[in-house]
Amino acid sequence: MKFKLDENIGRRGQALLAASGHDVSTVSEQRMSGAADERLFRICADEGRALITLDHDFAQVLRFPPQQSAGLVVLELPARAGPDSLLERIREFLLVLQQRPLGKELWIVEPGRVRIHQSDDEFTP
């Protein structure tokens, strides 16, 4: 699958996704750091890349309709979380992705579960 990582995901997250066989590009690589959320959303849609981010703004489905994207993944981290928490969310996401494809949906990856908007499903790995 093709993903774009927001600037708040780091190289270790990129390496983890790439090691799982995914095509991963980053906001930083494309020199889009600081770009408006709307611009990033449109570029991801145009490139056919699902966006992976920590930015909760992308969970606003009226502002960023998942059906107009290749998919949106918002990773939930506890307060004062470190890089290990981020990598754990990505691993949880990858486990669910093996069982169910990410369509034009919003997935919110929380510790121990993934909430999926559009189909009103909740999936617990």
- Its domain, for residue 106, covers 2-123
**Residue 8, phi then psi, degrees to nearest 5:** -90, 5
Nearest CA to 125 among 92, 89, 91, 76? Answer: 92
- Give the span between the Cα atoms of 49 and 39, in whole angstroms: 14
Q: Which two tokens stand for residue 25?
A: 């590009």
pLDDT tens readout for residues 14-52: 999 999 999 999 999 989 888 999 999 999 999 999 999
For the chain, the domain total comes to 1
What CATH code is carried by the domain that includes residue 6?
A: 3.40.50
- Give residue 115's pLDDT: 93
Q: Which two tokens stand for residue 79?
A: 């307060």
- Give residue 118's pLDDT: 61
pTM of the full structure: 0.90
